[in-house]
Amino acid sequence: MLQQNVAEKSHHRLAFLDSLSASHADRKEHERILSFLSEDYSATMKIAANLSSHSKWIPYPFLLNRLKNVADGVRAEAELIRGAIARLGGTVPQATAENREDVGFRQSIKRLVGDMEAHSSRSEIILHQKNSIRDASVAMLLGSVASEMLKQREELLEIVMRLS
């Protein structure tokens, strides 16, 4: 009888410790998700601002409109991420843009290529994050964002090719 009480108390302690451990793991996962989303939001807003900055030098209205549409799309994806941060109770980071000086046409194309590469890199990071997150709604959001970014990458590539 005494041995049974000791076993029950031990079982209750282990169950309590397991619940603390699970709660701790959930908190860590929540913090990790918020960290990913904050990083994604900041980087995506920076890319959108950088893409918008190219409107000063693109001489062809049809390419300018296409680039503006891509920048608006990137900004819309960032807003979806921002909404997820707010829903999860996180603090939305301040978005900062690069301060860019005017340069020549060739340098501007090089910057656009760099921004396209940053966009492509961010979409790959988001896909990797999607695959490492257990929260189904956040994973679905990141999958949607990454899918849109793949479409935008194709559009950016075509714009760069036409300008080169």
- 101-142: per-residue pLDDT in tens? 777 888 889 999 999 999 999 999 999 999 999 899 999 999
* The token pair that represents 72 in the structure block: 């608006």
- Residue-level pLDDT at 2: 46
- Residue-level pLDDT at 80: 95
Question: Does the pLDDT value for residue 100 go beyond 80?
Answer: no
CATH of 30-163 among 1.20.1260.10, 3.40.50.880, 3.30.365.10, 1.25.40.10: 1.20.1260.10
What does each C-alpha distance from 115 to 16, 36, 103, 121, 153 come to in angstroms?
51, 20, 15, 10, 10
- 35-83: per-residue pLDDT in tens? 999 999 999 999 999 999 988 889 899 999 999 999 999 999 999 999 9
- Residue-level pLDDT at 101: 73
Maximum pairwise Cα distance, the chain:
89
Q: Please state the domain extents for the chain.
A: 30-163
What is the three-state SS of the chain? CHHHHHHHHHHHHHHHHHHHHHHHHHHHHHHHHHHHHHHHHHHHHHHHHHHHHHHHCCCCHHHHHHHHHHHHHHHHHHHHHHHHHHHCCCCCCCCCCCCCCCCCHHHHHHHHHHHHHHHHHHHHHHHHHHHHCCCHHHHHHHHHHHHHHHHHHHHHHHHHHHHC
What pTM did the predictor assign? 0.81
- Residue-level pLDDT at 128: 94
State the pLDDT confidence band at 156, using cuts at 50, 70 and 90.
Answer: very high
